[in-house]
Amino acid sequence: MRTAFFQSLTQLAAQDKRIYLLVGDLGFGVADDFRRRFPGRFLNVGVAEQNMTGVAAGLALSGKIVFTYSIANFPTLRCLEQIRNDICYHNANVKVVAVGGGLSYGPLGPSHHATEDLAMLRALPNMTVVAPGDPLEAGQATSAITLHPGPCYLRLGRAGESNVHQQLEFTLGKAVLIRRGNGVSLIATGGMLALANEAAARLEAEGIRAGLWSMHTLKPLDTRAVLEAASTGLVVTLEDHSAIGGLGSAVAELLCEAGYAGRFCRIALPDAFAPCAGSAAYLRRIYGLDVDSIVQRIRSEVVARARPGVAAEAVGQR
C-alpha cells in the first residue's frame, strides 16, 4: 500500500502544483522520487510531528493541498491536538497519512502499534477517515482524498500487501462488494481485507456462503452497504484495530439505530496493550485475527444463529 500511495501521489503532484509533502524524518526510500522531482514542495520537518501538523495547516490555509506522512502513531496520536485545532477546526485541506496501521510494526512494540487511531480520528469533526484494503484501493484512495476539499486521514499498511481487487471504481464513502453471500456478511477494513477474503473462500468450500464488503471509508460510513449486509441476519466486522471505536463500533451504532434484530460479531483487537512483540502475523495469531481463527469464529457464529442453545458456550469464548 505504501508504494501505491507514493506512486499515485507523485503522479498527482506532476499535475497539480498545489500538492506538498511533509515527512517526519522517515520514508526517504519511498519518498525519494517525489523529493527529487518536486524539491520545492517536499519538507522534512524532523522528529517534530506537532510542528509538521502546524506547518501543514498553514500551507493549506494559503491554498495548498498538503500531505503529512509518518509511522502511524506519530502523525496522529502524538499531534492529536494540532490535528483537531489547527486542521479540523479550520477545515484545512490537509491529508494525514499513516503508514503501518494496526500491528504492522509488530516487532517494535506498543509504541508503534497503531490500534486506537481510527477511533480517535473518526471522532474529529470535518475529518474523513479512509483505510484501504489493498494496493489498488490505496492508489485510488490517494486520488480521491486529493480531490476532497478538507481534512482526511489515510491509514496504510506497511508493505507487501497483495491485491484483492482485479479492478476497482473507488468512491469515498462507498463500500465495495467483493463477494455475494447469503449465510453471513463480512465487512472488513484496512489490512484485514485479504484475510477476510481468504476466510470467505474457505467457508464457501464448507458450504457457508459469506458475502464480503470492503469498507475502505469509515467516515462517512456507507449506510446502504451495511444495511444490505445485514439482510443475511449475521454481520461480522474485521479490523486490525481495537474493538472500541473503530469499524465494529461504527457498524454496531448504525445497526442498533436501524433496529437490527440479527446477530452481530466484532473480530478485532482487545482493549489492551500487546503483552509481547513479534511480527504482525505472529501477533494476529495471538489475537485471533489470522485466517484459521477467523474461519473458526465465523463457523461458531453461523451455528449459534441456527442453534443458539447448543452453540452458546462456543460463541462465548472470545
- Taking only the tens place, the pLDDT of each residue in 92-116 is 999 999 999 999 999 999 999 999 9
User: Could you give the percent of the chain with pLDDT greater than 90?
Assistant: 89
Question: Do the Cβ atoms of 5 and 155 come closer than 8 Å?
Answer: no
Q: Indicate the angle between helix axes 192-205 and 291-306, nearest 10 degrees.
A: 50
Question: Do the Cβ atoms of 147 and 184 come closer than 8 Å?
Answer: no
User: Per-residue pLDDT for 318 more than 70?
Assistant: no
The mean of the pLDDT values for the chain is 93
Enumerate residues 6+ apart whose C-beta is below 8 A from 270: 242, 243, 287
Distance CA 217, CA 240 (A): 14
pLDDT per residue as tens digits for the range 173-223? 999 999 999 989 999 999 999 999 999 999 999 999 999 999 999 999 999
Q: Which of 24-28, 86-90, 294-298 has the lowest mean pLDDT?
A: 24-28
Q: Please give the average per-residue pLDDT across 40-66, as a whole number.
A: 97
Q: Please give the average per-residue pLDDT across 252-273, as a whole number.
A: 97
Closest CA to 18 of 62, 65, 56, 54: 65
- pLDDT band for position 297 (cuts 50, 70, 90): very high
Q: Where are the alpha helices (DSSP H) in 65-134?
A: 80-82, 117-122
For cell 499513516, name the residue. 98
Q: Which fold has domain 176-315?
A: Rossmann fold (3.40.50)
- Cα distance between the two ends of the chain: 30
Q: Please give the average per-residue pLDDT across 35-62, as a whole number.
A: 97
Stretch(es) of the chain classified as CATH 3.40.50.920 = 176-315
User: Per-residue pLDDT for 138 more than 80?
Assistant: yes
Q: Which fold has domain 2-156?
A: Rossmann fold (3.40.50)
Q: Indicate the angle between helix axes 28-37 and 2-15, nearest 10 degrees.
A: 10
Distance CA 97, CA 75 (A): 7
Q: Please give the average per-residue pLDDT across 162-183, as a whole number.
A: 93
User: Per-residue pLDDT for 304 more than 90?
Assistant: no
Locate 64 and state its grid cell.
Answer: 495548498
pLDDT per residue as tens digits for the range 2-15? 999 999 999 999 99
Peptide bond just before 125 cis, omega within 30 deg: no
Stretch(es) of the chain classified as CATH 3.40.50.970 = 2-156
How many Cα atoms occupy the beta-carbon half-sphere of 119 within 13 Å? Answer: 17
Instruction: Tell me what pLDDT residue 308 has.
Output: 60
User: Per-residue pLDDT for 316 more than 70?
Assistant: no
User: Could you give the percent of the chain with pLDDT greater than 70?
Assistant: 95
Distance CA 163, CA 197 (A): 11
Q: Please give the average per-residue pLDDT across 129-134, as a whole number.
A: 97
